[in-house]
């Protein structure tokens, strides 16, 4: 310990960084974008740069017509989300997962590797979802580039990386399963909306989509809180990260719902009275 105190800040940081690399799941450390957080952080920084520079580059240009691209993209994401939901469900069911307390199976059994594989696919899908932001920028829908949108897309990847790196399975399967199910509904909505005004009459349930998103974070929060107090062989540090992150999203989505639906509805009613 005394020798450690004598090390420089850079040497201590190097030791901590090596521990981050070495303490992960050895089975998947050579899978793409898993071993080190450095490429992940660089990609997030590039994403944030795109959010900052994209609207500036598009300022004097016409919006890009992406109707066919959006239809294909959104329904492809529906199919991907259905597949991930299926894999999470079947893998956990066949492995007799507990819904309340499930340690990670670090073995090389087919079911353990199948669960790790869908966890990686879920993580990688968050990179694909950067397209959501890119499409907003190209279509000059800058009002959609809210703090909630950018925060959620940029931080979700880092949270997924932590979960995948150290716990590809076990309790973390619940977040992926619920999120995949919600994304089936969400991208189906976006896919319909991409057809244009002709579909507007079928999209009356937009506010309920936000409620569904809030419900998923509440489910994940309650699931995590239970495990923080239960005697479950799953890292409390990971549970705390998920808990804090879910609370931040609940707060942001509640703020979004309040201003997007409750306030706007009140203003519309006032205009009608006038």
> Hey, where are the domains in the chain?
65-261
| pLDDT given for residue 220 in this prediction | 93
145-161 pLDDT, tens digit per residue, is: 999 999 999 999 999 99
What are the catalytic residues? 152
| C-beta of residue 138 within 8 angstroms of C-beta of residue 66 | yes
Give me Rg for the CA atoms of the chain.
21
Instruction: Please say if the pLDDT value at position 265 is more than 70.
Output: no
Instruction: Please say if the pLDDT value at position 75 is more than 80.
Output: yes
Q: Read off the pLDDT band of 264 (50, 70, 90).
A: low
Instruction: Look at the chain and count its residues.
Output: 274
115-134 pLDDT, tens digit per residue, is: 999 999 999 999 999 999 99
Query: Which of 130, 123, 154, 156 is CA-nearest to residue 24?
Result: 123
| pLDDT given for residue 55 in this prediction | 96
Q: What is the mean pLDDT of residues 52-57?
A: 96
Sorted by sequence, the CB contacts under 8 Å of residue 263 that are 6+ apart come out as none
Q: Read off the pLDDT band of 21 (50, 70, 90).
A: confident
Strands (E), 60-208: none
Q: What is the mean pLDDT of residues 28-48?
A: 96
Can you give the pTM of this predicted structure? 0.91
| C-beta of residue 24 within 8 angstroms of C-beta of residue 166 | yes
195-226 pLDDT, tens digit per residue, is: 999 898 889 998 899 999 999 999 999 999 98
């Amino acid at each position: 310990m005394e020798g450690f105190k004598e090390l420089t800040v850079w040497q201590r940081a190097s030791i901590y960084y090596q521990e981050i690399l070495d303490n992960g799941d050895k089975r998947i450390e050579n899978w793409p974008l898993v071993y080190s957080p450095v490429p992940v952080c660089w990609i997030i920084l590039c994403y944030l740069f795109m959010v900052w520079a994209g609207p500036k580059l598009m300022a004097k240009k016409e919006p890009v017509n992406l109707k066919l691209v959006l239809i294909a993209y959104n329904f492809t994401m529906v199919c991907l989300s259905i597949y991930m939901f299926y894999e999470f469900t079947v893998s956990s069911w066949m492995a007799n997962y507990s819904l309340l307390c499930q340690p990670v199976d670090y073995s090389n059994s087919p079911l353990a590797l199948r669960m790790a594989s869908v966890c990686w696919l879920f993580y990688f899908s968050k990179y694909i979802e950067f397209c959501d932001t890119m499409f907003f920028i190209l279509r000059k829908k800058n009002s959609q580039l809210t703090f909630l949108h950018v925060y959620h897309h940029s931080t979700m990847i880092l949270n997924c990386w932590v979960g995948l790196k150290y716990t590809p399975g076990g309790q973390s399967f619940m977040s992926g399963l619920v999120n995949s199910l919600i994304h089936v509904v969400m991208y189906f909505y976006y896919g319909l909306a991409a057809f244009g005004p002709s579909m507007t009459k079928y999209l009356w349930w937009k506010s309920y989509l936000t409620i569904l998103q809030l419900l998923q974070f509440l489910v994940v929060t309650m699931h995590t809180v239970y495990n923080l107090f239960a005697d479950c062989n799953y890292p409390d540090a990971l549970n705390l990260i998920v808990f804090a992150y879910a609370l931040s999203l609940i707060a942001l989505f509640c703020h979004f719902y309040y201003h997007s639906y409750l306030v706007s509805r009140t203003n519309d009613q006032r205009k009608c009275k006038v």
